[in-house]
Structure 1
Amino acid sequence: MTASGVRNRPIALAIFLIVTGLVGLWASFQLMVEKIHTLENPGDALSCDFSIIVQCAKNLDSAQGAVFGFPNPIIGLVGFMAPVVVGAAILAGARFNSWFWVTFNIGIAGAFALVLWLAYQSIFNLFTLCPWCMVVWSVTIPMFWAVTLRNLKVGAIPAPRSLRKAASAAYSWVPVIALVGYIIIAVIAQVRLDVLSYL
């Protein structure tokens, strides 16, 4: 591998995918452990239940906690393996065709949409904030923006030149974009649930 070949690989993105994927896996694992606990010990308080607002139990026991007929943490345990594997493959020297990046992006976009829907359900219908769920949200949001903007920037996703240029400029601002997303969710949750008064 030449020095230029190494430079052309998205090393920073690869490391980011591995780290966020592992964090997502860990949060999903913790949620699965808590779900098993609720099945074995119905009615028991969970280790992630801190108040009537900040808790996991209500989310895990709800219909929204099993969107596809099985516990949502299983989706995370399977899904978060993908960014870890992709990131590790890039570090090992793999190069993926555009169709692969588009497919990967579609998967992450699906995760992003699910996270937004679950955040809405949690705040407006369940009236709770699940700590481990929020960890999943916190890694999925920047992962979506990082992969989408990267794919637009390099042309993996066909787009007009102006959009590619905008994506290229925005790519370095992914942390700020994610932070804005966190703040929006936090403000909505505070206005709707008055979270601070329950901490």
Structure 2
Amino acid sequence: MTSAPYASRERTTKERILGAAEALFATHGFAGASLRQVTAAARVNLAAVNYHFGSKDKLIEEVFRRRLDELNTRRLTALGKVTGAAGTTLEDVLDAYIRPALDLSRTDGGGAAFVRVLARAYAEHNETLRRFLSENYGHVLRQFATEFARLLPGLGKEEIYWRLDIVTGALTYAMADFGVIQRKVDVTERDHREAAADHLIRFAAAGMRDPTVSHAAASH
């Protein structure tokens, strides 16, 4: 049986490695950040990384898993409260999708670096990572798409996924907080994030509701 102090040390070492990797991947990208840099920043040796993760690819996956497990649990909990209800609106479902992600990006929760890591993933087109995300979190997107299809019966499955993909892109941009609208000095980060969520939900709802279906989608 593992003693509590030993288990605590194991968690501490693993968390240090994950935190160091997240920060370095955010700054240098997946290819640019070496395991040597990670071990130096985490104050561990390479054997510790190999013990906990086995490889750099697995370390990258765990950096994502640490954040996305919590994010998608919150998303699905919020979605579960509105799924199938007669009074559910498109905004309710978008709220369940958008607001937990914007909460993740808050600096006091340590998610700001992860947002940059997420942006790196989009930019670097890492196919191994793309497969990992699809296999582990694709079911979340499918559950949201199912509820969107219920609320938007005039749209086909492909069109819904097109629109959800575009909403996700806008959400990622909002999470990065790198747009024209910057937080004013007299506005708290929480209030700024709430305003961003409200604007994005309204904007996304209008786009999702647009009855126009592209010629490409209509031809399939």
- TM-score norm. by structure 1 comes to 0.35
Larger C-alpha radius of gyration, 1 or 2? 2
